[in-house]
């Protein structure tokens, strides 16, 4: 009986080695219009006091709000210039506060398709008479606000722009947490071009790992780097709680 169980166990292990690991579910991705939040010295919906050149974003629903000093709900925002920032959602707005347009079961405006912000529909198509949930005339299609540091330094924007936003909590990729603002590069080395930032408290997806140049950060010194997305790398020295992931 023992020999039989041993044979079955070995066979199952062999099958497990042959079968590929289940691919992570991709997080939802939408193209929306971004504006700069500003409001330095003010307080966000989660109690964070906004600093000069701060790094976070605002979405128009509390269903997408992280707690203060938390990145449970993090987005990746990418500009048309190729730069991206991974930033936590710490405020609510612009325009609406119940428009979780990324959800199938959105709280409000259920007549709109998933991924279509109500402010955009009001501005472009006259939805709700061209007004937001408070009855205000919508003056722009804005569906995400970017803190000044995210806007100016992370994405290098000079004005309101269309960006691509990925709602990372809607995917299943393994993640780690960034402890301090960190430069994202286009290769696994410090000399590689800077292509964005990962903000403090951002929970970043780890697509795979690769050995590269030694880097030092909040988690010590390491030669391991993680690919966050195509052409975007961050050293393991900057990421806390990272699980083991496949090699790139």
In the chain, what's the furthest Cα-to-Cα distance? 76
Task: Report the C-alpha gap between 142 and 155 in whole angstroms.
Answer: 16
Task: Report the C-alpha gap between 198 and 37 in whole angstroms.
Answer: 18
State pTM to two decimals: 0.91
pLDDT in tens, 112-126: 999 999 999 999 999
Q: What is the pLDDT of residue 22?
A: 63
pLDDT in tens, 90-100: 999 999 999 99
Task: Report the C-alpha gap between 244 and 223 in whole angstroms.
Answer: 15
pLDDT in tens, 5-19: 333 333 334 333 333
Judged by phi (left if over 0) then psi (alpha if -120 to 50, else beta), residue 15 lies in: alpha
Q: Are 208 and 63 in contact (CB under 8 A)?
A: no
């Amino acid at each position: 009986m023992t020999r039989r169980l041993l044979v079955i166990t070995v066979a199952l292990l062999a099958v497990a080695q042959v079968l590929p690991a289940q691919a992570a579910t991709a997080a939802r991705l939408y193209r929306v219009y971004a504006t700069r939040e500003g409001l330095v010295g003010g307080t966000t919906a989660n109690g964070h006091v906004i600093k000069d050149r701060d790094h976070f974003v605002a979405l128009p629903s509390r269903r997408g709000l992280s707690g203060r000093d938390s990145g449970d709900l993090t987005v990746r925002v990418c500009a048309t210039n190729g730069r991206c920032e991974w930033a936590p959602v710490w405020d609510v707005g612009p325009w609406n506060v119940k428009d979780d347009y990324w959800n199938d079961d959105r709280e409000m405006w259920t007549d709109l398709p998933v991924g279509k912000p109500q402010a955009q529909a009001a501005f472009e198509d006259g939805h709700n008479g061209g007004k937001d949930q408070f009855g205000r005339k919508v003056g722009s299609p804005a569906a995400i606000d970017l803190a000044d540091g995210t806007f100016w330094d992370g994405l290098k924007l000079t004005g309101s722009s269309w960006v691509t936003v990925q709602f990372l909590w809607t995917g299943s990729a393994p993640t780690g947490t960034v402890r301090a603002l960190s430069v994202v590069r286009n290769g696994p080395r410090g000399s590689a071009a800077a292509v964005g930032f990962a903000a403090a408290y951002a929970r970043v997806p780890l697509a795979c790992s690769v050995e590269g140049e030694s880097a030092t950060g909040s988690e010590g010194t390491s030669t391991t780097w993680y690919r966050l997305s195509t052409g975007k790398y961050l050293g393991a020295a900057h990421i806390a709680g990272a699980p083991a992931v496949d090699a790139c």
